[in-house]
Chain A
Amino acid sequence: MKTRFSRSLQTTIIFLVVGGILALALGGFFSSASASFGRSLISAQTWVSTRYITIRDFFNAPSDIASLQQRNAQLESEISGLQAQVIQLQQQLTDTQVLAALVDFSQGSPESVYKAASVIGRDPSPFLHYIIINSGSNAGLRRGMPVVTNQGLIGRVDAVIADAARVQLVTDPSSAINIRLQNADTDAILVGSVTGDIAIEMISQDVDVQEGDVILTSGLGGNYPPDLLVGQLFNLRKRDYELFQTASVQSTVDFSRLEIVLVIMNFKPIDITPLVPETTP
């Protein structure tokens, strides 16, 4: 009997305590305590979560790096491909620009028939200034045909095989071309040199020549058609004790960067050798 009473008392006390706590909680008396409990819980959860993510990343990272490296390699390969395309397109653009300039030039002189050819090599001897082009007798090229670019005269065909030809540049030491100084209206001879510089010789002393005068082929001798642009005169040397004036020439063509040239197909050089009188002893 006594035991049953004691249990009823305990139950009543527990109910009262729990009910009191609930009443206090509902009355807002535990808000500060619950807030600090919540903060502690959140802090603990954040700490655990952070450590978990760190550990998970640690174990998952190698696969990510591998996939990233794979992706990186793939992108680098794509970049390389695109860079190659860009270079190819730039080359095509350069070629197109050169060809457009050559077309403009050929349209400016409709009386001539041109054949475009690419420069594929240079003479193996450094003493000579010759280029090799990729058109030959199959394309109708013949020895002696003049070769030009849109910037001016570069030389003439020296030797021909079926699909290639060798062109002697005006800078070659054995090249000699009859030229005309446009402003002074006088003839002279343009000669090359082993250094690649070109000069004018045989300018008469009594002719008034100015630096900057335009130099054109004269057509004398029949090796070149007249009025092809060669360059401009500069660095005139006139000495009283010499028979002729000489001058250096600034060529309009950059001979070190020749890529595409035009061969004048409808010009036939004239061989005047039979007309030259033989020297008698």
Chain B
Amino acid sequence: MLVIQMAVVSRIPLFGLGYADLVLVTLAAWSLQERVETSWHWAVIAGLLVGWASALPWIVPVIGYLLMVAFARLLVRRIWQAPLLAMFVIVFFGSLIFHLLSALTLQLLGSPILIGDALSVVTLPSLMLNLFLALPLYAIFRDLSVWVYDIEDYE
């Protein structure tokens, strides 16, 4: 996913700036599967990999993804009857949290980033693309979890 993200998705920006975060949406889709208990591990692995490849400090993606997984695990027990709604909610807030965290960290490190501008010109298009990807990725990972965990009472 990270390879696809860096080689393909990062080269397809919306409005010339924001692009989708395939890793984040994938983690959200995987975390929402009820039988999946390893989403925490995947969040740490994904965070470390993104932190290694990106110029962002490694702690930012690790914390960002862990927060999103925590939110997803919390939500999956609350609105388990509407998994798609949960998926959209998690992707929406997960993207916002991750971008806010990234922008704040970069600002602290001395980059002249204005949070308001960054959120409007980068986060908004990214958010749209993430939500656009949410539906197909949820379906794929739903099937994958059925296959991996051999769930028989699949609706």
Interface residues of A (CB under 8 A from B): 120-128, 130, 132, 158-159, 166, 168, 173-174, 191, 193-196, 256
Contact = CB atoms under 8 A, between A and B. Distances in A.
A168 B55 contact: yes
B2, B21, B111: which has the most chain A beta carbons within 10 Å?
A: B111
Given A122-B6, A173-B106, A196 B11 contact: no
A140 B3 CA distance: 24
Interface residues of B, number: 34
Contacts of A130: 54-55
Contacts of A127: 56, 99, 102-103, 106, 113, 118, 122
Interface string B113-134: 1100110011000100000000
A159 to B, nearest CB: 7
B17 A173 contact: no
Which 10 A-B residue pairs are closest in the complex by CB-CB distance? A121-B6, A122-B10, A174-B111, A173-B111, A121-B7, A126-B122, A126-B18, A128-B55, A125-B56, A130-B55
A123 B7 contact: no
B109 interface: yes
B54 A123 contact: yes
B7 A128 contact: no
Contacts of B10: 121-124, 126
Interface string B12-33: 0100111101010000000000
A155 to B, nearest CB: 11
Given A174-B109, A195-B121, A124 B53 contact: yes
Contact of A174 (B3, B50, B106): B106
Interface in B19-60: 19, 21, 23, 50, 53-56
Given A128-B55, A132-B6, A174-B106, A122 B11 contact: yes
Nearest to B102: A127
A194 B121 contact: yes
A128 B113 CA distance: 10
Contacts of A193: 112
A199 to B, nearest CB: 10
Contact of B23 (A121, A124, A194, A256): A124
Contacts of B111: 173-174, 194
A124 B50 contact: yes
Given A123-B54, A123-B55, A124-B53, A196 B109 contact: no
Contacts of A174: 106, 109-112
A126 B106 contact: no
B55 A195 contact: no
B5 interface: yes
A11 B121 CA distance: 119
